[in-house]
Amino acid sequence: MFGGVATVPSNSPHLRKSGSRPVVSDLGTSELENGAEEGFLRLIEGNDMKGGSIPRSTAAIMPSPAMLWRFKVLLFFAWGFICCKVGWDSVMRMSADLRDLFLYEAFLYYNPLLLVTMMVWFWGVNLWVFAQGNVNYAKIFDLDQNHLTHREIWKCATWMTIVVPTSMTAYLYLYSHGEVSLAASQPVLLYAAVAMLLIFPFDIFYLSSRFYLLRTLWRIVLPLQAISFSDFFLADILTSMSKVLSDLERSVCRMVHRQVATIAWFEADSVCGSHSVAIPVVLVLPYLFRLFQCLRQYKDTGEKTTLLNALKYSTAVPVIFLSALKYHVFPEKWSTFYRPLWLLSGVLNSLYSFYWDVTRDWDLSGFTRIFKFSKQQFLSNLVHGRKWVYFWVIGSNLILRCTWTYKLSSHLRHNYLTVFTITALEIFRRFQWVFFRVENEVNKMSSKSNIQLSMADNPNEEDRLLVSNGHSG
C-alpha cells in the first residue's frame, strides 16, 4: 500500500495470528492479481512474437465454482444412497428376532451424534439469518474476531453428516457378516475421534473456537463467576439435549464394560440398562446447571425474576425422577400413585416453560408485537406483516413443550423411534427459540446504549430527576 506492491503471499504465516483464519487484504490481493495478469499477457505477446504457443496446462480452463458445487452435491447424494443400500441389506441379513434388538442398540450409539449434527446444521442457519439481518452476534456472545461464520459451521456439519452415518453403516455391515469384534470397534473409534478432536491442543481444526466451547462448558458446570449471555444460552441449549447426554452416558458405559455389539444390556441386572440410576441423574444435570446459574445471577444482581427462572428449571426434576421410579416400585403403586404425579408434574413443567419462553425469553407478553411490531429489529423486519409466523412459533412451542415431557421420561425410552423423533422436534423448537431470544437480547442492548447516550447528553436533566425523586421519597 505504501511504497509499492507487497511481495509477501497473502496466505503467508506472518499474516496470520494463532488460531485464526488467513488475513487477506483486498487491495493487496487485487494488486497481486493485476501484476500476475500483466505478466501473463506479456508472456502471451512474447510467445506470439516468437511464433511459440502456450502449453495446454497453462491455458486450461478451471471448472467454475457452480460446477464444483454441483459435483460435490452429486457425490454427497451418491454416498448417501450407498450407505442406505448397504445398511438396509445388512439389516435384512439378520434374523427377525435379533433385528429389532440390534437396531435398538445401533440407535443408542449413533442417534446422539446424529442429533448433535442436526443441531450444528441449525446453528449454521441461525448464524446465516443473523448475518442477513446485520446482527452483531459476535458482540452478543462475546466472540473474538476469529469466530466461526455460518459457512464454517456448515462445513463442520457436512463432515459430521458424512462421518457418523459412514461409521454406522460399517457397524451394521460388519456385524451382519459375522465380524463382531470389528463391528464393536466402530462406535468406539468414532467416540474417541470426537473426544480427541475437541481437546486437540494444536492450532488446527479451529483451535480458538473449540477452546471457547470447552471454556463455556466448564463455566456451566462450575458457575463460580458472573454468568454471561453465552453461558446461560448454551446451558439452555443443553437442556434441550438432555436426552442426547443421557444416551451418550449409556453408550460410554457400554463401551467401558465391553458390551458393544451384544444384547446383554437388556438384562435386568445390566449395569447400563434401563434400571440404571445414572439415566435420570444425567437427564437432570442440564436443568441443575441452569438452576445454579439462576441462583448465581440472583446473588450478583438481586433480581427476583432470576429466582422465578430457577423455579422453572426445578419443575423438571420431579418429571425425571418420578418417571425413573417405575423401575423401582411395584406396578400397582406406579399406576395408582406415582404415574398421576408424573403427569401432573409434566403438565406444570410444560406450561411454566411455555409461559417463560413467550413472556420472558422472547418478550412477547400480551402478543403486542404480533400486531404492532413496536420494536423493529432484524427478525421483526424479516417477518414484518406476516403474523402467521408468530402464531406458528408460539403454537408449535406450546405443543413441543408438552411433548418434551415424553423425552424426559426414562420409562418410555423403549419406544426409541418415537423418542428420537420427539428429541429432533425439540431441537427444532430450540432452533426457533434462538431467533427470538437473540432478538430480545439485541433489544435490551439497544435500550441500554440509548439510555447511556441520553444520560451523557442530558446530565442536567438527570440531576433534576434525582433531586425530584429524593423529594418525593
Checking if the pLDDT of 66 tops 60, the result is yes
What letter represents residue 403's amino acid?
T
Question: Residue 373: its pLDDT value, please?
Answer: 44
Confidence of residue 385 (pLDDT cuts 50, 70, 90): low
Mean pLDDT is lowest, of 11-25, 99-113, 209-223, 438-452, for 11-25
Q: Is residue 316 part of a domain?
A: yes
Residue 159: give the domain boundaries.
Answer: 68-366+375-442
Cell triple for 103: 437396531
pLDDT of residue 86 exceeding 90: yes
Owner of C-alpha cell 441449549: 237
Residue 407 placed within a domain: yes
Task: Enter the DSSP assignment of 202.
Answer: S
* Domain contains 175: yes
pLDDT reported for residue 11: 40
Domain total in the chain = 1
The least confident of 53-57, 320-324, 358-362 is 53-57
pLDDT of residue 466: 44
Dist. CA 218–CA 63, nearest whole Å:
46
Average pLDDT score over the chain = 79
390 touches 383 (CB < 8 A): yes
**Above 60 in pLDDT, residue 301?**
yes
In a domain, 36, yes or no: no
- Domain for residue 28, yes or no? no
Q: Is residue 44 part of a domain?
A: no
Asked whether residue 461 is assigned to any structural domain, the reply reads: no
Average pLDDT of span 140-166: 92
Residue 396 · residue 429 · CB < 8 Å: yes
3-state secondary structure of 224: coil
Determine the pLDDT at residue 150: 94
Q: Which of 302, 407, 294 is nearest to 360 (CA)?
A: 294
For 27, the 3-state DSSP assignment is helix
Concatenating the DSSP letter of every residue in 282-349 gives: HHHHHHHHHHHHHHHHHHHH--THHHHHHHHHHTHHHHHHHHHGGGTS-HHHIIIIIHHHHHHHHHHH
Query: How many angstroms from the chain centroid is the CA of residue 225?
Result: 24
* Residue of 315, 246, 253 whose CA lies nearest to 280: 246
- Output the pLDDT for position 467: 44
The answer for residues whose C-beta is within 8 angstroms of residue 342's C-beta and 6 or more apart is 318, 319, 322, 323, 409
Planar angle of CA 332, 338, 342, nearest 5 degrees: 140
> Is the predicted pLDDT of residue 334 greater than 60, yes or no?
yes
pLDDT at position 320 over 60: yes
Lowest mean pLDDT among 13-22, 190-199, 205-214, 376-385: 13-22
Rounded distance, CA 123 to CA 250, Å? Answer: 26
**397 neighbors 432 (Cβ within 8 angstroms):** yes
What's the average model confidence in pLDDT over 370-390? 57
The arithmetic mean of pLDDT across residues 5-19, rounded, is 39
Helix axes 180-199, 150-176, angle to 10 degrees: 160
Percentage of residues of the chain with pLDDT beyond 70 = 73
pLDDT digits (tens, 9 = 90+) for 156-215: 999 999 999 999 999 999 998 889 899 999 999 999 999 999 999 888 889 999 999 999
> Cell numbers at residue 391, please?
402464531
* Structure confidence at residue 432 (pLDDT): 93
Confidence of residue 36 (pLDDT cuts 50, 70, 90): very low
CA distance 418 to 107: 12
* Cβ 165 vs Cβ 109: under 8 Å: no
Q: What is the DSSP letter of 266?
A: G
pLDDT higher than threshold 90 for residue 442? no
DSSP state of 4: S
In 3D space, the residue among 321, 281, 311 whose CA is nearest the CA of residue 411 turns out to be: 321
| 310: in domain | yes
* Beta-carbon count within 10 A of 306 CB: 19
pLDDT tens by residue, 324-333: 888 788 888 8
The pLDDT score that the predictor gives to residue 54 is 47
pLDDT for residue 216? 95
User: CB neighbours (10 Å) of residue 244?
Assistant: 24
Dist CA 240 CA 116 (whole Å): 11
Least confident of 82-86, 103-107, 174-178: 103-107
What pLDDT shows up at residue 406? 67
Question: Quick check: 114 pLDDT over 90?
Answer: yes
**DSSP notation for 13-61:** GGG--TT------HHHHHHHHHHHHHHHHHHHHHHHHHT----HHHHPP
Region of 415 please: left (phi>0), alpha (psi -120 to 50) or beta: beta
Give me the count of residues in the chain: 473
- The owner of cell 438527570 is 462
**Per-residue pLDDT averaged across 238-265, rounded?**
86
